[in-house]
Structure 1
């Protein structure tokens, strides 16, 4: 489904030919830029996949009930094992909340020991940007303990920093985990400036 809009150049004293712009309004086409296919493999992250669907409809200007839209379009991105699962289950699932609960139960990481090991061992790598390290740790925290407090997240984030940042980060206080990200990114930028001057 496409719509055609007519736009004229904003010059009142110039006669111009209208420019026709084709705007693609098919949500599935636009969603491909935001939502990756979910195959149902052990290393696929079901939580991130669900969040990407919610994120798309949070910014797309599409009329309708959000949860109805999530449920309507999500199965189109299920491939391989995930699609086979959906083909067998779709007759029993009638809403986004039931769908979400069912896919999390089926495809979430079930190996608690593996999650715990990843959580314990995750450290910032030498050339890893703070923002990547931060969001990886936050994702691990959700998997490891969904009720983890901000104070616990900040402690985990701080302890895993590379030494050059850790030495400065422990001098700061942080009100929230996002406050940690903001302040440590500032420290990261200062260190980059110092390195450039050496």
Structure 2
């Protein structure tokens, strides 16, 4: 089946925009895998093509790891599984990052919020809301904590329907 020019452009753009996965601790291997699969789903690609896209987009230590192990990483399923085993941080490392995460000077509240929510989901998909709120408040800049606590107090004082 031949793609129309618009679909070709979208597929090419999606591949160009997919960042290289280098294995840097600041990169999330799950985001890389999800992005590859999203492109595959969008473009109707098979697993062999997903494997090719992923290996082309490896760089740095991730490429070195792949190059040293490529004999055992011949399918997308194997590559994906081993990428996760090799580059996904441990649960204890994620918990530590969550506990130590502080809103930085100049960091937008939305960016801080999104990062905390992401870390909470990595620790526990079903983390109770009160724990998420505690993590958000603990790392929030002091000048914002006052306003949030004031607002939460007024919410606590309001009767529930």
Structure 2 counterparts to residues 5-16 of structure 1, below 5 A: none
Cα shift at 1:142: 3.9
Residue 32 (structure 1) aligns with: 16
Which residue of the partner structure matches residue 128 of structure 1? 107
**Aligned match for 1:99, one of 79, 95, 120:** 79
Asked if 1:153 corresponds to 2:132, the answer is yes
Distance in 1 (CA, whole Å) between partners of 2:84 and 2:138 is 30
Aligned residue in 2 for 1:118: 97
* Larger gyration radius, structure 1 or structure 2: 1
Which runs of 5 or more structure 1 residues have no equivalent in the other structure? 6-21, 174-198
The separation in 2 between residues aligned to 1:131 and 1:68, in whole angstroms, is 38
TM-score, structure 1 length as denominator? 0.57
Q: Which structure has greater helix proportion?
A: 2
Gaps of 5+ in 2: 157-161
**Residue 78 of structure 1: which of 58, 62, 84 is its match?**
58
8 Å Cα contact 1:46-1:104 kept in structure 2: yes
- 1:60-75 matches, cutoff 5 A: 60=42, 62-65=43-46, 67-75=47-55
Q: How many residues align?
A: 150
Aligned CA distance change for structure 1 residues 93 and 80 (closer, same or farther; 3 Å): same
**Residue aligning to 1:180:** none
1:90-142 per-position Cα deviation (integer Å, ceiling 9, x unaligned): 32234333222201111222483x54332112233454323211221123224
Which structure shows the bigger proportion of residues in strand conformation? 1
Sort the Cα spacing of 1:29 and 1:158 in 2 relative to 1 into closer, same or farther, 3 A. Answer: same
